[in-house]
Structure 1
Amino acid sequence: MTEFEATITGLGHDGRGVARIDGKATFVSGALPGERVLLKYYKRHRHYDDAEIVSVLDASPDRVEPKCRHFSQCSGCSLQHMDSAAQIAAKQQVLADNFERIGKVTPGSWLPPLTDQPWGYRRRGRFSVRYVAKKERVLVGFRDEANPRFVAEIEHCEVLHPALGPKVGLLAELVGGLAAARDIPQIEFAAGDDMIALVFRHMSALSDADRDALIAFGKAHGFAIYLQPGNHSSVHPIWPESPRLAFAVPADDVELEFQPLDFVQVNAGMNQRMLARSLELLDLRPTDRVLDLFCGLGNFTLPIARHAGEVVGVEGEHGLVERAAANAARNGLSNASFRVGNLFDDQRNEPWATQRWDKLLLDPPRAGADKVLEYLPRKGTDRVVYVSCHPASLARDAGILVGKGFRLVSAGVMDMFPHTAHVESIALFERR
Structure 2
Amino acid sequence: MGRRRRRPLPTEPALATVEKLTHDGRGIAYVDGKAIFIIGALPGETVRFRYTELRRDHGSGQVVEVLKSVPERVAPACGAFGRCGGCSLQHLDHAAQIRAKDALLAEQLRRIGGIDDFECWPPLTGPVWGYRRKARLGVRYVRNKDKVLVGFRERGSGKMAEIESCLTLHPQVGERLQDLAGLIDTLSIREQLPQIEVAIGDNRSALVFRVLQPPSAADRQRLSDFGRRYDFDVYLQPKGPESLQPLYPEDPPLPCYFLPEDVTLWFGPLGFTQVNADINRKMIARVLEMLAPQTDETLLDLFCGLGNFTLPLARRGGRIVGVEGNAREVEMGRYNARANGIDNVEFHVCDLTQPLEDQPWAGARYDKILLDPARSGALELMAWLPRWRPKQVVYVSCNPATLARDVGRLVHEHGFRLIRAGIMDMFPHTAHVESIALLTP
**TM-score of the superposed pair, with normalisation by structure 2:** 0.95
**Equivalent residue, structure 1, for 2:202:** 193
Determine which of 370, 374, 386 is the counterpart of 2:379. Answer: 370
Determine which of 47, 51, 55 is the counterpart of 2:65. Answer: 55
Secondary structure of 1:150's aligned partner: coil
1:181 matches 2:190: yes
Counterpart-to-counterpart distance in 2, 1:248 and 1:183: 32
**Equivalent residue, structure 1, for 2:6:** none
Q: Which shifted more, 35-44 or 217-226?
A: 35-44
Structure 1 stretches of 4+ with a deviation exceeding 4 A read: none
| Matched-pair contact (CA < 8 Å) for 2:259–2:312 | no
Instruction: Tell me how far 1:145 sits from its aligned partner.
Output: 4.9
1:123 matches 2:129: no
Instruction: Tell me how far 1:390 sits from its aligned partner.
Output: 0.4
**Equivalent residue, structure 2, for 1:429:** 439
| Matched-pair contact (CA < 8 Å) for 2:82–2:155 | no
**Equivalent residue, structure 2, for 1:264:** 273
Determine which of 200, 215, 232 is the counterpart of 1:223. Answer: 232
Determine which of 5, 11, 19 is the counterpart of 1:9. Answer: 19
Letter in 2 for 1:100: R
1:322-356 deviations in Å (ceiling 9; x for gaps): 11001001111100110000011112331111101
1:394 matches 2:397: no
Output aligned runs, 1:275-290, within 5 Å.
275-290=284-299
Secondary structure of 2:418's aligned partner: strand
1:76-99 deviations in Å (ceiling 9; x for gaps): 111011011110111111111111
Determine which of 216, 220, 233 is the counterpart of 2:242. Answer: 233
Q: Which runs of 5+ in 1 are unaligned?
A: none
Counterpart-to-counterpart distance in 1, 2:100 and 2:279: 19
| Matched-pair contact (CA < 8 Å) for 1:107–1:411 | no
**Equivalent residue, structure 2, for 1:382:** 391
Secondary structure of 2:96's aligned partner: helix
Counterpart-to-counterpart distance in 1, 2:351 and 2:306: 15
Letter in 1 for 2:347: F
| Matched-pair contact (CA < 8 Å) for 1:290–1:308 | no
**Equivalent residue, structure 2, for 1:349:** 358
Counterpart-to-counterpart distance in 2, 1:228 and 1:248: 23
Determine which of 42, 45, 50 is the counterpart of 1:32. Answer: 42
Secondary structure of 1:54's aligned partner: strand
1:139-181 deviations in Å (ceiling 9; x for gaps): 111123522x211111110011121111111111111111101
| Matched-pair contact (CA < 8 Å) for 1:29–1:52 | yes
Counterpart-to-counterpart distance in 1, 2:427 and 2:347: 29
The verdict on how the C-alpha distance between 1:211 and 1:379 changes in structure 2, with shifts beyond 3 A counting, is: closer
1:104 matches 2:114: yes
Secondary structure of 1:371's aligned partner: helix
Q: Which runs of 5+ in 2 are unaligned?
A: 1-10
Secondary structure of 1:51's aligned partner: strand
Counterpart-to-counterpart distance in 2, 1:365 and 1:224: 29
The verdict on how the C-alpha distance between 1:16 and 1:267 changes in structure 2, with shifts beyond 3 A counting, is: same
Q: Which shifted more, 270-279 or 50-59?
A: 50-59
| Matched-pair contact (CA < 8 Å) for 1:18–1:26 | yes
1:411 matches 2:435: no
Letter in 1 for 2:150: V
Instruction: Tell me how far 1:244 sits from its aligned partner.
Output: 2.2
Counterpart-to-counterpart distance in 2, 1:79 and 1:380: 41
1:328 matches 2:340: no
Instruction: Tell me how far 1:300 sits from its aligned partner.
Output: 0.2
1:45 matches 2:55: yes
Counterpart-to-counterpart distance in 1, 2:353 and 2:122: 32
Counterpart-to-counterpart distance in 2, 1:331 and 1:413: 30
Identity %: 50
| Matched-pair contact (CA < 8 Å) for 2:18–2:44 | yes
Instruction: Tell me how far 1:195 sits from its aligned partner.
Output: 1.2
1:114 matches 2:124: yes
